Copies of this chain bind each other. A is one copy, B any other.
Amino acid sequence: MTLKDLARELGVSTATISNAFNRPDQLSPKLREHILTEARRLGYSGPDARARSLRTGRSRIIAVILAESLTYSLNDAVSSELLSGIAEVLDTRGHTLLLLSGRQNAASVPGASSIADGFIIYGLMPSLKLFSDLPPERPLVAVDFDIEDHATVHVDNEPACYAIARHALRVPTRRPAVINLRLTEQPCNGRIDDDQALLSAERTITRARLAGFQRAFVEAGIDPAEVPMWNIEENTFEVCTPVIEEILDLPDAERPDLLLCMSDRIALTVVTLAEQRGLRIPEDLRLTGFDGIAEGQYRAPRLTTIRQDSTEKGRIAARMILGMEPAESRVMATEMMIGDTCP
């Protein structure tokens, strides 16, 4: 049952049917009513979205392309919040959300995605060539990384990390350490030995956060090169666990007494494993996180962390895509939250 069938059935033109569904002012209310009830009776459920999108060139679909796998992204608090901010704005404007991962079968992305009216890209894409495959005339906003000639949304990673490290280092600290998130070029889940060689040039966020920490170290009279660093490959409890066990199970004399973590998930894993080992927080171990996810604020000890409003980040990206605000490069402020893990 197509629009044309319905038109023939009712003895009117296809244009009139189309108008009945899309532009009520273009036909008499009586006829419109007639058309709509007949349509329902004959089982015509409105203009086909496929044909419509071809003809109008718009689908009311916005694609979000995520650097990580969808499985990871959907279970990660930060990306979920981002998505929910995006969804919120799209919903109010009658748009819908197409979820794509840039990771696995990157090949399928350009094909399927060209149906979307605009693109929000989250996180650094392994295959940068992907961008050139996207229809160049449609809007594109990058979130949490930089890309030439396109709007981006960020938080102020460096100053935020400087601030929280400074806060942490007010208290005399014997053995500070840093747990990075995806800092290295090559996958590396554990201690980072070769300080420079492994630093990824592309992970601008991680580098900015580390730079903030290091600025605070220098200011506190600590040589950053002396601060031990670990790296974590994926922001999940399972992946964090072995690395953090390695750290917590060091002999007392070597175990850090301050852990600057690059995410709340890492920090929460530290809390969990420290509790299991009877380590007291903050007496035996102080730690800070990053993100400000809800889970870190419910139960004691509440994380000392940097809260970034990922939901708002998503809203902004969505508004930029929909042209509700200028698509420019934008840096959002963060907020330090002093919890129990590093008072």
Contact = CB atoms under 8 A, between A and B. Distances in A.
Contacts of A74: 74, 80-81, 83-84, 87
Interface residues of A, number: 62
Interface string A73-96: 011010011011001100110111
B87 A46 contact: no
A275 B299 contact: yes
Interface stretch (A12-20, A107-115, A216-224): A107-115
Contacts of A45: 110, 114, 132-136
A50 B48 contact: no
Copies in the complex: 2
A271 B300 CA distance: 11
Interface in A258-287: 268-269, 271-272, 275-276
Nearest to A311: B71
Contacts of A113: 49, 96
A335 interface: no
A38 B55 CA distance: 27
B91 A70 contact: yes
Interface string A112-151: 1111000000000000000011111000000000000000
Main secondary structure, interface of A, reads helix
B91 A61 contact: no
A111 to B, nearest CB: 6
A241 to B, nearest CB: 9
B87 A112 contact: no
A71 B84 CA distance: 4
Residue of A100, A104, A111 with most chain B CB atoms under a 10 A cut-off: A111
A75 B272 CA distance: 22
B114 A49 contact: yes
A210 B282 CA distance: 42
Contact of A98 (B54, B96, B101, B276): B96
Interface in A218-275: 237, 268-269, 271-272, 275
Interface of A: 43, 45-51, 53-54, 57, 59-61, 69-71, 74-75, 77, 80-81, 83-84, 87-88, 91-92, 94-101, 104-105, 108, 110-115, 132-136, 237, 268-269, 271-272, 275-276, 294-295, 298-300
